[in-house]
Amino acid sequence: MSLLRAYQDALVEEIQHREFFATLGIQVLSRKIKDVTSEIEKALASIGIALFVFPPEPKNFESNIPTPTFKQMSVRVRIAENPLANQTGKDAWDVWEETIKLHTWRCATPPCFGALFGQDKPFEDQSVDADLLRVFDALFTVQVVLKR
């Protein structure tokens, strides 16, 4: 399995097991699911909120080294809310604030990269492109040396 995919899976698992998300029954999705769009739509229809963990995006490629090596990755977690269907008692703002608390998280099993840190601008509002939905992104950077 790709190291980046393993890291993404570890982050999904971490979010799923955090009390805030588990108690509310918020579904945390990733690219493992074949039809992510329909799974997000199902979650939005059932409880009104869903999270999607994007694949990590490597940055700062070191081209003069034979093994692919990166100094950092950016990590994006998207919070989607259907305010009309939301049954959780928490809105997208609450969920974003809880999501950004992942800063300083380090995975416990390989691939263990550095801790997550909120980016200088850790919030992006993607709601303009989402009809009647609130869509917020929590943006992180992780320091890493990715080598096989």
Q: Write the pLDDT tens digit of every residue in 111-148.
A: 667 789 999 999 999 998 778 899 999 999 987 755 54
CB burial class (10 A; 0-12, 13-18, 19+) of residue 81? buried
CATH number of 3-143: 3.30.2000
What average pLDDT is seen over the chain? 87
Please provide the distance, in angstroms rounded to a whole number, between the alpha carbons at the two ends of the chain. 11
CA angle 108, 54, 87 (to 5 degrees): 95
Task: Report pTM.
Answer: 0.89
Which tens digits make up the pLDDT trace of 84-109? 999 999 999 999 999 999 998 988 77
Task: Flag whether pLDDT at 29 surpasses 60.
Answer: yes
Residue that the structure tokens 């269907």 belong to: 85
Q: What are the extents of the domains in the chain?
A: 3-143
Per-residue pLDDT tens over the stretch 65-86: 776 667 788 999 999 999 999 9
pLDDT at 28 over 90: yes
The pLDDT score that the predictor gives to residue 148 is: 47
CA dist 139 and 94 (Å) reads 16
Higher-pLDDT residue of 54, 115: 54
